């Protein structure tokens, strides 16, 4: 089963929790054992599994990436000023795969799924969720 949903982002760089949307698609699929693949269809956004106990870890992710990939230092910036966003998205990656066990995402207690926005705000970031049986 495959479903697509969209996220509207409000900041240039931020992490957005998409766990509930993905869990809903897994429930809808009826798959009891298998995998769930989550993919963002954009070159300046990414998908990450990270802690969601509080938002300090999410802010730390953005702070770290800003330090190692600063804005305005890249050849691609001459085209449209978002060279750093492409590099951040490439390092984090466009997808994650999570096991499905007993009809639920088999993730750790503190793990949740995030859309990572590196070139916002954007009206429509598309996330594709594919659930397959084992």
Find the CATH number of the domain harbouring 29. 2.60.120.460
Residue 104: which domain range? 2-133
For position 1, what pLDDT does the model report?
97
Which pTM value belongs to this model?
0.95
Split into its structural domains, the chain has a count of 1
Query: Contact at 8 Å (CB) between 42 and 123?
Result: no
Interval 113-122 mean pLDDT? 98
For position 109, what pLDDT does the model report?
94
For position 77, what pLDDT does the model report?
87
The pLDDT tens digits of the residues spanning 33-91 come to 999 999 999 999 999 999 999 889 999 999 999 999 999 999 998 999 999 999 999 99
Q: Collect all residues with Cβ–Cβ distance below 8 Å to 8 and sequence separation of at least 6.
A: 121, 122, 123, 124, 125
């Amino acid at each position: 089963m495959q479903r697509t949903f969209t996220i509207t982002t409000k900041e240039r760089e931020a992490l957005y929790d998409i766990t509930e949307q993905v869990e809903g698609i897994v429930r809808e699929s009826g798959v009891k054992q298998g995998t769930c693949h989550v993919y963002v269809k954009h070159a300046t956004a990414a998908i990450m599994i990270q802690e969601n106990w509080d938002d300090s870890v999410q802010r730390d992710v953005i702070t770290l990436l800003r330090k190692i990939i600063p804005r305005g230092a890249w050849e691609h910036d001459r085209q449209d000023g978002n060279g750093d966003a492409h590099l951040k998205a490439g390092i984090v990656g466009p997808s994650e795969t999570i096991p499905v066990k007993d009809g639920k995402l088999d993730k750790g207690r503190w793990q949740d799924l995030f859309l990572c926005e590196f070139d916002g705000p954007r009206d429509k970031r598309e996330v594709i969720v594919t659930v397959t049986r084992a």
